[in-house]
A and B are shown apart, each in its own frame.
Chain A
Amino acid sequence: MTEAAPDYAAPLTGWRLWLLDSDDEGPVLTSPVATSRWPARVATTASCRAGCERPPGVTAGVVLGCAALWGRVVEATEGWRAERGYPLVLFAPTAEHGDRFDAQQAVLWRTLVRRPGIAPQPDPPDATTLRTLAHRYAVPVHAVPTLRRGHAARTDGPATVVRDEAARGLAARRLGDAHARLRFDRAVEDLLAVLHRRHPPDGPPPIVA
């Protein structure tokens, strides 16, 4: 045996941001900074950007979520870079959550999206788009209000719990462990309660449980 044992037997998990593009089969997650797409039901494999074909510049908003990272993973002071990745849970600001969407989404858009050739003002995804996204990627998708600056301090704790539980209970959830699924659902509900300014958590069920 010449191969070294892996450092971890469960994927690392981190929060990240995607743009919501679309193709012939429905919505698709794309990177906000690189011209790469995250395929559905296939691990995204890191590759060199040189020579990549630029995807169409049609977007339908921003999606936040937890991604599993595995393979050769680089830990840095301000983030992670991994050989392979796949989303575990997604949170999408939608048009159903008030008039603040346009202005605040535009601020987020200008701050995070620096890719040329895309629409300057995204159209927020509707419930049908999110439902299709959930079925296509086979992960839970939750509709949330637009993220604001004031959310950061209150969401740090619940967001950390969601991130940790997404990876910790992954194997058990995939094997049908109801308790692991309940722990993850509760963590997500706590985060949604903060985002929706609800206490105790009684938010709507996810689009995909």
Chain B
Amino acid sequence: MRIGEQVRVVDVEPIVDPVPDGDFPERPAEVRPLAPRPTPRSGRAATPREQRRLRARARRGVTVP
């Protein structure tokens, strides 16, 4: 095929392979599901000071949500 006069030659190395290897058209490439973003107080064990406070509240009959 005739493509005219040559202008330049470049070296192209894609970071991501353009060939969809191993994945399926119905879904994108396999990536790990994102972990939930931690919030300041979720999933954290109570400190000893907080544990003492919680026990004291429990003794007084205060319900902690």
Contacts and interface: CB of A to CB of B under 8 A. Distances in A.
Given A11-B18, A140-B25, A175 B31 contact: yes
B13 interface: yes
Contacts of A70: 12-14, 18
A80 B8 CA distance: 10
Contacts of A108: none
- Majority secondary structure, B binding face: loop
B34 to A, nearest CB: 9
B29 A12 contact: no
Contacts of B50: none
Contact of A138 (B4, B10, B17, B25): B25
A76 B7 contact: yes
Among B2, B13, B25, the one with the most A-chain Cβ atoms within 10 Å of its Cβ is: B25
A10 B13 CA distance: 7
A209 B19 CA distance: 16
Nearest to A178: B28
A186 interface: no
Contacts, number: 114
Interface stretch (A1-9, A122-130, A194-202): A1-9
Contacts of B9: 72-75
Among B5, B18, B23, the one with the most A-chain Cβ atoms within 10 Å of its Cβ is: B18
Contacts of B2: 78
Given A86-B18, A139-B25, A171-B16, A8 B10 contact: yes
Interface in A31-50: 33-34, 41-43
A9 B6 contact: no
11 contacts: A8-B13, A9-B13, A10-B15, A70-B12, A70-B13, A71-B11, A72-B10, A75-B7, A82-B12, A138-B20, A174-B16
Interface of B: 1-21, 23-26, 28-29, 31
Given A78-B3, A174-B28, A175-B29, 8 more contacts: A6-B13, A11-B14, A11-B18, A33-B1, A77-B7, A88-B18, A170-B16, A174-B29
Interface of A: 4, 6-12, 33-34, 41-43, 68-82, 86, 88, 134-135, 138-140, 170-171, 173-176, 181, 208-209
